Structure 1
Amino acid sequence: MTTLVWFKRDLRVADHPALARAAAIGDVLPLYVFEPAYWAEPDVSGRQFEFVRESVTVLAEYLAALGVPLVVRVGRVVDILDSLRARVPFDRIVSHEETGSGWTYARDRDVAAWCRAQGVLWEELAQSGVVRRLNGRDGWAKQRNAFMREPQAATPVALTGPALPSDGVPCLTAPDHCPARQVGGRRMAMSLLGSFLVERGQTYRKDMSSPVTGAWSCSRLSPYLAFGCLSGREASQAAAMRQREVKGTRAGWGGSLKSFQARLAWRDHFMQKLEDEPALEHRCLHSAYEDMRPKVPDAERLAAWETGETGIPFVDACMRYLAATGWMNFRMRSMLMAVASYHLWLDWRVTGLHLARRFTDFEPGIHWPQSQMQSGTTGMNTVRIYNPVKQGKDQDPTGVFTRQWCPELASVPDRFLQEPWLWEGAGTVLGKTYPAPVVDVLDAARRAREQVWAVRRGGAFRAEAKEVIHKHASRKDSQGHFVNDRAAKPKRKGPASPARDNRQMGFEF
């Protein structure tokens, strides 16, 4: 019998447990479905669609070289499974577990129901450190790290299976102008991994926080990890090999590669949050924050933030850069979300959807926990209200980035670039060629801080926060270290314990 391999966010043939499993059984029918209903969801965009379409094209080339064509279809998955089974009587589907949105979860439930009705066995295999049906976070890091150390799934030497035609794939999203978007596909992923590990990543730890240096020094692997052109295990093991090569050198590689490994671990850590608590896509992790901000956002502030017209130069430069490239380094992503949530007092669900569409590398399991973390609604994270003026001065000290993306500020002297409202000639620019700030940065931060901390007072808040920490917070390993590489060692010996996620970790891939 034939085994159908359902490709989703795993667009590769290397380290692909589902494909390896199917190949060991017999004939293989590889399938990818472009689902119009999914691409109409509010958290997806044209830049993501084109990246996926390019990645599927490359995947088809790899599969053809192995001996079988990738069958590409457009429609509802259960309808396509019905039509395919009428032509090829498969009795098994193999795919990878997916930690996705509520929409993809409902889709998977429909597929499971179809399989039960048809007598088809559906096997879902792990492809990351995320653990299904986890009872609690105790021991999670050990499981995750063990998975990363396991040998990669063998790439089949050759495949056999039926040859079926594919559908033409129309554009299923609205137009989305993103001129500097990254190109999809496995080949580009491997090229970036190689250049990062032997050249670009040497100053990764030092350069990752600035949009000026981060675009080069970060790995830029995030969209390829998000859509599975490269597995996290491949990236981790390649980095480990490079760590062994550079051990003992003083060239910066040791610290940078350690930081990169930590961020791969935190990638799984945050995806595990959504796996364990799917509702956090829609509800505050701590219920006390549910009604803190207006559900209906201030339309003027939201529009200014979305278009990079807030009058806060560094915020606007980052938002315009993101619109044009589909990527932003993590610290600036955090700042954009924090400014929206605190200074502009906008609900994270609304602003989170906009950023989801802007990120070519949109990964629900990272995006929604981070949206809440940067908005102060988790109940277990330290409230961090970024000062966007200070961030501009710190991360763009020469102003080159801000001036590139906000050319209206050309006449503003360097010392006033990040706060042009203090310049004596502000009247020649603000409200004319560049907007006046929509809020007073310092006053808005003060007001937000007061309201957030007011919610945190009281025994009821602490009781629920304790439950959140038990379910979602990171743990220490047997040596007293957290999953990331920046935690302080414990002051006294004792059993591993939950820890508040008070460190500002990033995902600068």
Structure 2
Amino acid sequence: MSTGILWFKNDLRLDDNPALVAAAGQVDRLVCVYCIDARFEQTVDYGEAPRVGPHRRGFIAEALVDLEQQLTERHQTLLTVRGEPEDILPRIAAFTGAGAIWAEVERAPDEAAQLERVNAQLPEGCALITTEDNTLYRLADLPYDDLADVPATFTKFRKKIEETIDNRRPVAIPDTLPAPVDLSELSIEQSDIGPWLPAEPRFAGGERAGQARLAYYLFDTDAIADYKQTRNGMLGDDYSSKFSPWLAAGCLSARRIAEQVGVYEAHETANKSTYWLVFELRWREFFHWTLARVGADLFSRGGIIGRDDRPKTTDGPTIAAWQAGRTGMPFIDANMKELAATGYMSNRGRQNVASFFARDLAQDWRWGAAWFEAQLIDYDVASNWCNWATVAGVGTDKRDNGFNVLSQAKRYDSEADYILHWLPELEAVPAKWRHTPWLADADTLAAIDYPRLASLPEAWDRS
């Protein structure tokens, strides 16, 4: 009987999983594996925070529980093992006589290098087969002869994509899965993820939770119909789709989301909001193919365009105050408090706290991006680092414009509702000063233990 291995990574789903479909169609027996590798113990490159922080770790744990349950219902099993894939997978391959390992392709340098290490250690006769990742398009779909031809700006990319290709259709779960393999005599111990499970998660991990959110946002509530008007909100569950946690862990397929938006448009309504949600998926797409194009350059201080005038400063107290939500700028501090408490932050918040860090505080932007890597429940390497690079002026947008954070605060939180939700101590400050508490007297700030903003950024309108 032919045997294969399915290596789950950031594709914790059965629906529209190309690696699963490929493996199921070619072998009689299948070992499904997830490796808890060094990333879960390592710290980020810029700072001392864990690469996989507690919020994302808890979400992944819930996703693994859901995946294991779904596989069990289909008479399969999931082996969750602590160890490096280049050690674990070759051992399983040798023990079972597997002829192939199927896994999602990787575009980021660290993850691609891990694939190479696994491939180098496989026993003779076992091949590593990579399938497309969680994007709308495959490389072969793109209307370019080479990755180097992918445009450097989103607008050119989007227009070319919209003119030439359709979103790739998702593939269904195979009707039956190959039989599991008895590994009881192989000395590999399953890892206990129970301690990772969160008590009160902001989002429930797992494919079924992601599918439920997709149905809720589109068909149960019609919230998508107002997406373009509400997407800059900051409080509540439905001002935006909130698909990003499930997309990041691969619990939801980008292709399935786009397909279901098409169904909604065909049966309910097609408007600027439904278009805009797919528009945002194309932004994500652009960042993924940008990472594939530029590789390690994205993670340099000068970024994609190689600027040598970006801040080099990494002032410990300044960075710590930003991380803790203790800068004295309420709009920034409230967003950072939400991030610490939930692992999530609105898109509007992310742009502003990044701009404040890289431009107003003039710190090396990579330290901020690495902090997001550690904290975000929906961390996606391409989206996170490309967005940070863009705000820092070293990304795909040649315009060198940051955000006037004070103006943004007054525009998107005019009544200070968001600020007061995360910084309730500011209720003691007169309403007219809640966005600018440094204008209050020193005794008021001391009484509520809120810091005074060290200095007004030059970019702000002093008036």
Q: CA deviation at 1:41?
A: 3.9
Q: Name 1:497's counterpart in structure 2.
A: none
Deviations 1:182-235 (A, max 9, x none): 22101110111011102132322111112125x422111101111111110000
**Between 13-22 and 414-423, the greater mean CA deviation after superposition:** 414-423
Amino acid at match of 1:202: A
Q: Any residues of structure 2 matched to 1:401-412 within 5 Å, and which?
A: 401-412=418-429
Are 2:224 and 1:201 aligned?
Answer: yes
Report 1:206-285 matches (<5 A).
206-212=229-235, 215-247=237-269, 254-279=271-296, 280-285=298-303
Q: Is the 8 A contact 2:328 2:438 kept in 1?
A: no
Instruction: Give the drift of 1:369.
Output: 0.9
- Hey, which bits of structure 1, 4+ residues long, moved more than 4 A? 138-148, 170-173, 175-180, 444-447
Retained in 2: the 8 A contact 1:112–1:122? yes
- CA gap 1:157/1:283 in 2 versus in 1, 3 angstroms: same
Where does residue 124 of structure 1 map in the other structure?
130
2:148 aligned with 1:135: yes
Partner secondary structure for residue 389 of structure 1? helix
Aligned to 2:182: 163
Shift of 1:105: 2.1
Preserved CA contact (<8 Å) 1:341 1:375 = yes
Question: What is the CA distance between 1:286 and its match in structure 2?
Answer: 4.7
Question: In structure 1, what is the equivalent of residue 455 of structure 2?
Answer: 439
Q: Mark the CA change 1:270 to 1:221 in structure 2 (over 3 Å): closer, same or farther.
A: same
Which among 434, 439, 444 is matched to residue 428 of structure 1? Answer: 444
Partner of 2:118: 111
Aligned-pair CA distance for 1:426: 5.0
Change (3 A) 1:172 1:60: closer
Determine the structure 1 residue equivalent to 2:55: 47
- Secondary structure in structure 2 of the residue aligned to 1:289: coil
Structure 1 position 356, deviation (Å): 1.5
RMSD across aligned positions (CA): 2.7
Write the distance in 1 (CA, Å) between the matches of 2:410 and 2:379: 28
Q: Which runs of 5+ in 2 are unaligned?
A: 45-50, 141-145
Q: Is the 8 A contact 2:248 2:378 kept in 1?
A: yes
Residues 90-135 of structure 1: per-residue CA shift (max 9 Å, x gap): 01111111234x33222111012124x6232221111323638623
Paired residue type of 1:126? E
Equivalences, count:
435
Match of 2:68 in 1: 60
Alpha-carbon spacing, 1:81–1:146, altered in 2? closer, same or farther (3 Å): farther
Letter in 2 for 1:6: W
DSSP-derived class of the 1:5 partner: strand
Matched to 2:235, the amino acid is V
1:436 Cα deviation after fit: 0.3
- Once residues 59 and 388 of structure 1 are traced to their aligned partners in structure 2, the CA distance between those partners, rounded to angstroms, is 41
Letter in 1 for 2:183: L
Paired with 1:364 and 1:222, the residues of 2 have a C-alpha distance of: 12
- From 18, 32, 35, the equivalent of 1:33 is 35
Equivalent pair of 1:270/1:369 in contact (CA under 8 Å): yes
Q: Give the match's secondary structure for 1:381.
A: coil
Shift of 1:149: 3.5
In the alignment, which residue of structure 2 is the partner of 1:184?
Answer: 205
Residues of 2 paired with 1:171 and 1:16: CA distance?
23
Name the counterpart of 1:82.
Answer: 90
CA distance in 2, matches of 1:197, 1:40: 38
Alpha-carbon separation, structure 1, partners of 2:13 and 2:165: 19
Q: In the alignment, what sits opposite 2:363? A: 346
Q: How far apart in 2 are the matches of 1:6 and 1:373?
A: 33
| Maintained 8 Å contact 1:23/1:156 | yes
- Determine the C-alpha separation between the residues in 2 that align with 1:184 and 1:176: 10
Distance 1:193 1:8, change over 3 A: same
**How much has 1:25 moved relative to structure 2?**
1.0
Higher mean Cα deviation, 146-155 or 396-405?
A: 146-155
1:97 pairs with 2:105: yes
Cα pair distance change 1:75/1:146, threshold 3 Å: farther
SS in 2 for 1:72: strand
Deviation, structure 1 residue 163: 3.5
Superposition deviation, residue 446 in structure 1: 8.8
TM-score normalised by L of structure 2: 0.86
Q: For 2:162 and 2:376, locate their aligned partners in 1 and report how far apart those are by CA, in whole Å.
A: 26
- Does the CA-based 8 Å contact 2:67-2:206 persist in structure 1? yes
Letter in 2 for 1:31: V
- Cα–Cα, structure 1 residues 149 and 272, in superposed 2: closer, same or farther, change >3 Å? closer
Question: Counterpart amino acid of 1:134?
Answer: L
C-alpha contact 2:426 2:448 (8 A) present in aligned 1: no
Which residue number corresponds to residue 19 of structure 2?
Answer: 18
Which consecutive unaligned segments of at least 5 residues does structure 1 have?
248-252, 448-509
Aligned-residue offset at 1:438: 2.3
* CA–CA separation in structure 2 for the residues paired with 1:404 and 1:320: 10
Name the TM-score, length of structure 1 as normaliser: 0.79
Instruction: Work out the CA distance in 2 between the residues paired with 1:265 and 1:37.
Output: 28
1:361-380 to structure 2, matched below 5 A, reads 361-378=378-395, 380=397
Q: Write the distance in 1 (CA, Å) between the matches of 2:17 and 2:385.
A: 26
**2:6–2:101 Cα contact (<8 Å) kept:** yes
Contact 1:421–1:430 under 8 Å retained in 2: no
Alignment partners' CA distance in 1, 2:290 and 2:227: 26
Quote the Cα distance in structure 2 between the aligned partners of 1:145 and 1:237.
Answer: 18
Instruction: Report how far residue 336 of structure 1 moved.
Output: 0.5
SS in 2 for 1:40: coil
Distance 1:290 1:329, change over 3 A: same
1:320-359 to 2 correspondences below 5 Å: 320-359=337-376
Q: Could you say if the C-alpha distance between residues 274 and 300 of structure 1 is closer, same or farther in structure 2, counting changes exceeding 3 Å?
A: same
